Structure 1
Amino acid sequence: MNIKSTKLKTYSSLLLLAITIVFAGCSKSKPFVPTPTPPTNTGDPAQYGTPYASVPATKDIVMYEVNIKTFPNANFAGVDSRLDSIKALGVNVIWLMPTYPIGVLKASGSPYSVKDYEGVNSAFGTLDDLRSLVAKAHTLGMAVILDWEANGTSWDNAWITNNPSWYIQNGGGTIQQLSTYSDVAALNFSNQNMRLALIKAMKYWVFTANVDGYRCDFADNTPGDFWTQALDTLNNIKTHKLIYLAEGTKSAEISSGFQLGYAFTYYGAIKALYAGSQSPAALIGTSNSEIAAIPSSGFKLRYITNHDDASSDGSTITEYGGKQGALSAFVLAAYMGGVPLIYSSQEVGYPNAINFFNNVPVDYTANPDMVAAYKQILAFRAAHEAIKTGTLTPYSDANIVAFEKTSGTDDVLVFVNTKNATETFNVPAALQGTTWVNGYTGANVTFSTQYTLQPYSYLAFKK
């Protein structure tokens, strides 16, 4: 602080005290309060609705991926009709798969072939329908993020005709496809005007539909300096707290501003564990290595399926040996570290693969016992800081994944039988004679030298 006149010195201590009080009120643990900003000539649309003030801290996120094509009538209204049920699971962030018009030229039906970055897929409804969905989610206490394909557009996107230099071209001037995706034309990130247009479109939805961030597709393929440029620009919107999820593996993406990255290696490890080709100790090792490989500010998104895997690998019911196996696998994804994801249909045990290019009606009233179990699993996670950020101590044996997590005075213990057979766990000496409370039933348990677990059973204890 500079004092330009000696006659003001008598007031300096009071001024310093006032500043200290103001800044003492600013804490990461405090709820986000939108900062009003005066209108400027930025070219951005007017803000629609009131920015959502309760976007959760990253560690507290429970995310639900919405494949709109699985919901009643395969539209926004169908999702809207299920929002209360989604919230009841323990979800606080919804990720909407692409809501943009899909290209027709050279089309495969993929929603990631974007015809208009600032348009709404009419099959889903209108802009007002999307706004209504976002507003209701906010009312229920859930943030909403959109899916974003930054790498390329459809071949009939207006940019192709109006701005061909915005695309990668060969020596003959022919626009190139993105990687192996024949329905997507690859964007040229050497073109600064293209970058600015992409960022403008990302800002558009924050203002026009009042969304709370983005899940960014194929993020590893996009130059890191673009993500820094884009996320820095979005973070200048002081009226919003935004969530950024990278479908990527690079630690640089977290450094660029993403809070979340995909847990690709963990997904592979958990599948291998249930297939019998990997050990519980190896899963814990993969988890620790994956988390250690990113900056401490970042988190991994942990899942047992998502739209890609449900399409290619099938239902969690077939991947993990049935309903009970799928639930036990989800416990590992939700409790070992990172942020858990539920893919729409997973919670009701949909038994078949889902091709996300197509409408696949799902009976969301099926298997209420699984829905109840998901609620119970996530309620325990929400109640324990140790689950979210605690230090992990492994106790696994050949068949049982066992670990303790502690954070301050919060202490939890997790056992998961990854086999479709009754297994006897040899209790380590450190746990023998200790008493815990079953986090699901409230019953007290004192461990001796062995503990029997039923096929695919899972248990969570607290001190």
Structure 2
Amino acid sequence: MAELSPQAVVDEFFLKNPEFGLDVTLKELEYELDNDESGSEVARLFRKAAYLAEHYPNEERLNELLKLFDEFKRLFGEWKLAECIFRRVGEEVINPKSYSLTVIYMDPTGLRKTVIYEVFPRNHTEEGTLKALSNDLERIKNLGVDYIWLMPIYPIGEEGRKGTYGSPYAIKDYRSINPELGSFDDFKAFVDKAHSMGLKVMIDIVYNHTSRDSILLKEHPEWFLHEKGRPSRKVPEWSDIYDLDYSKKELWEYQIETLKFWARYVDGFRCDVAPLVPLEFWKRAKEEVAKVKKNVVWLAETVHPSFVKWLRDRGFKCHSDPEMHQAFEITYDYDGRERLEAYLRGEKSLSHYIDYLYIQDTLYPAEYVKLRFLENHDIPRAASLFKDELRLKNWTAFTFMLKGAMLIYAGQEYAIEKQPSLFERDPVDWESGDERFSKFIKQLITVKKRLECDKQRVYLAKEGVAVVECSNAVGIFNLEGKVGNIKLEVKGKDLLSGKRVKSKKGTLEIGFEPLIILRPQ
């Protein structure tokens, strides 16, 4: 991963020479429109072309890009890609510099096809720096993901630090880069390189608390939650932080200005324990950030329902998932995860989890987007939970097909079992990964882009066998390694194996591999 690939060199050259880069990318687009069956490579090239067009706003090239975009919509209408609009600024005589690019908000359908790749910069590489991480961008891009989410990149507090290096969520300064990761120039170079490849960048926002020796605590101790005259916290186990007090309106202004600063560089915010911060703050923050950049995606780390109740029972305000959709496009699926965990512990049946997916579809706003995941930095690796390879494949494919955006935590794509420590230097052991599973993940990402799952039905055809029915496909997932038949009328091509699948008299014999069958049009 440390070596700079030929493609990465080309991408960097294009970034420095956007006129030439745009010409080449437009030619690539013309070719891929005729040859890319899935539309994923075309979509990636459009994102890259749009980024280069911002740096080289040539009238002729913009018109050419618009024509290609119309052809893309005709061929791949199911993509619902965020539309690019080139508009004249002012009433002067047309010249290339009077054009600018605006990207409309992605609609829920587009966000539900989104794949986010989570990275812990300290532990992603042996070097543990942003420069080293940038050398892995080409591999990440080639998976087909849309966003790369950087876990907190800020300086870490020392007082009460957990472990040797501390939690990246105990932040000392919201407005600077952790020097262990590199400089601010390194951060900007990383973002520029990601953008040149068609990747969007999301950063972590941790606004419930700071480290116990933060700049804010030193300069504005009155902005913090206090108990018996001393800074305090809502969760005693979070011993390396103090909580902020959002009854102080001056704090709102400071935090919003910080968000507006970072929005100049990034494309999305993942907001840590967002329900513990007032919803009205998030609504106003979103409005203010939109004045700087209109296409920022907001992802809320909502929390387990049991945690919501525990906080409320102790007198603290904590918002529910449906409430958070007033300000956020995407919320975590920890409400579903709580039921899944009860099943995995053997306390509840699989239907206890499957049935809850219907509740989500009726309880949430119609435009809701959940972030589906089998793992992240706070929960065990999927490969450590599902030791059997076929069970892991079925659960992974099932989660990919559920309505919502999808999260991959770095290393998950190689079925790596060991979870990196949050408090130590503990690099991902890439050598222990399974290359075959990485190809499977890449295949699932391509398939997800083709699925039309806004209208979805999820049920158990028999105990241990889940069926996901979408508008253009049906998925069959043997989650418990069962044998036998299920009642299902189905005919079409399995997008994972390439084989034709057809039931006989409404009955299908189940196998051990997952199936995602494209319905005939």
Instruction: Name 1:217's counterpart in structure 2.
Output: 272
Instruction: Name 2:174's counterpart in structure 1.
Output: 117
Q: How does 1:45-194 map to 2 (within 5 A)?
A: 53=103, 57-72=110-125, 73-108=127-162, 109-171=166-228, 173-180=229-236, 181-194=238-251
Could you say what secondary structure the match of 1:317 adopts?
A: helix
1:400–1:206 distance in 2 versus 1, CA, 3 Å: same
Instruction: Name 1:13's counterpart in structure 2.
Output: none
1:453 aligns with 2:510: yes
Instruction: Name 1:299's counterpart in structure 2.
Output: 369
Question: Residues 98 and 112 of structure 1 are in contact (CA less than 8 Å); yes or no, is this contact kept in structure 2?
Answer: yes
Question: Residues 52 and 212 of structure 1 are in contact (CA less than 8 Å); yes or no, is this contact kept in structure 2?
Answer: no
1:235–1:59 distance in 2 versus 1, CA, 3 Å: same
2:392 aligned to which of 288, 307, 326: 326
1:425–1:280 distance in 2 versus 1, CA, 3 Å: farther
TM value normalised by structure 2: 0.73
Query: Deviations along 1:67-117, whole A, 9 cap, x unmatched?
Result: 113322111122211111112222001111000000001222111111000
2:473 aligned to which of 401, 412, 419: 412
1:398–1:136 distance in 2 versus 1, CA, 3 Å: same
1:349–1:427 distance in 2 versus 1, CA, 3 Å: same
Query: What amino acid does structure 1 have at the position aligned with 2:118?
Result: E
Instruction: Name 1:31's counterpart in structure 2.
Output: 83
1:379 aligned to which of 446, 451, 461: 446
Could you say what secondary structure the match of 2:379 adopts?
A: helix
1:254 aligned to which of 297, 320, 325: 325
Output the CA distance in 1 between the equivalents of 2:323 and 2:368.
10
Could you say what secondary structure the match of 1:324 adopts?
A: helix
Output the CA distance in 1 between the equivalents of 2:120 and 2:392.
20
Output the CA distance in 2 between the equivalents of 1:118 and 1:418.
45
Deviation at 1:437, TM superposition (A): 1.2
Instruction: Name 1:369's counterpart in structure 2.
Output: 436
Instruction: Name 1:269's counterpart in structure 2.
Output: 339
Deviation at 1:324, TM superposition (A): 2.9
1:324–1:84 distance in 2 versus 1, CA, 3 Å: farther
Output the CA distance in 2 between the equivalents of 1:71 and 1:51.
34
Could you say what secondary structure the match of 2:269 adopts?
A: strand
Query: Deviations along 1:428-453, whole A, 9 cap, x unmatched?
Result: 3xx1xx42111123322220254343
Output the CA distance in 2 between the equivalents of 1:450 and 1:282.
25
Query: Deviations along 1:391-440, whole A, 9 cap, x unmatched?
Result: 3263521121113211xxxx211111112x45123223xx1xx4211112
Question: Residues 467 and 477 of structure 2 are in contact (CA less than 8 Å); yes or no, is this contact kept in structure 1?
Answer: yes
Deviation at 1:165, TM superposition (A): 1.0
Instruction: Name 1:199's counterpart in structure 2.
Output: 256
1:317–1:393 distance in 2 versus 1, CA, 3 Å: closer
RMSD (Å) for aligned C-alpha atoms: 2.5
Question: Residues 287 and 337 of structure 1 are in contact (CA less than 8 Å); yes or no, is this contact kept in structure 2?
Answer: no
Instruction: Name 2:500's counterpart in structure 1.
Output: 444
Question: Residues 243 and 259 of structure 1 are in contact (CA less than 8 Å); yes or no, is this contact kept in structure 2?
Answer: yes
Instruction: Name 2:284's counterpart in structure 1.
Output: 229
Output the CA distance in 2 between the equivalents of 1:167 and 1:60.
39
1:107–1:372 distance in 2 versus 1, CA, 3 Å: same
TM value normalised by structure 1: 0.81
Query: What amino acid does structure 2 have at the position aligned with 1:194?
Result: L
Deviation at 1:36, TM superposition (A): 9.7
Output the CA distance in 2 between the equivalents of 1:286 and 1:155.
39
Instruction: Name 1:282's counterpart in structure 2.
Output: 352
Q: How does 1:329-408 map to 2 (within 5 A)?
A: 329-364=395-430, 366-384=433-451, 386-387=452-453, 389-392=454-457, 394=459, 396-406=461-471
1:345–1:51 distance in 2 versus 1, CA, 3 Å: farther
Higher helix share: 2
Aligned identity (percent) is 24
**Structure 1: stretches of 5+ with no match in the other structure:** 1-24, 39-49
Query: What amino acid does structure 2 have at the position aligned with 1:374?
Result: I
Question: How many corresponding residue pairs?
Answer: 405
Could you say what secondary structure the match of 1:60 adopts?
A: coil
